[in-house]
Amino acid sequence: MNRDEAYEQSRSAPPGSRSLRCIWYCGWINDEIRRAAKRGETSLEMRFPPKHYVVVHRELFRELYLRQGFDVGFAPNFQYIQPTEWSMKLSWEKEDSKREAE
């Protein structure tokens, strides 16, 4: 596969097929989750422009992270009529607080 074929493959796969682009963004989001968890945080908020891949396919990303046990929310910031930015919020519970609740 040459460079052009690889580029086309990464852009043309339907979102549900776990395209290379979807896998790349999941890896990036997972890195951000790891960094936040190392800092002791229990949530992460990421902001994206309205036409960003993650926003366009937000239902896919919501489903993927819900299946992994995260609480997931997407919210637009409406400014005028169109949102200028979307927030993706992922949250998880600390193991210590789970044990305390039991």
The rounded mean pLDDT for the chain is: 82
- pTM for the full predicted model: 0.72
Secondary structure letter of residue 51 according to DSSP: T
- Domain boundaries, position 73: 3-101
Distance CA(25)–CA(46), nearest Å, equals 12
pLDDT the model gives residue 65: 93
Count: domains in the chain? 1
Distance CA(59)–CA(42), nearest Å, equals 22
Judged against a pLDDT cut of 80, whether residue 6 lies above it is answered with: no
pLDDT single digits (tens) 11-45: 665 655 567 888 889 999 999 999 999 999 999 99
**pLDDT above 90: percentage of residues in the chain:** 54
pLDDT the model gives residue 36: 93
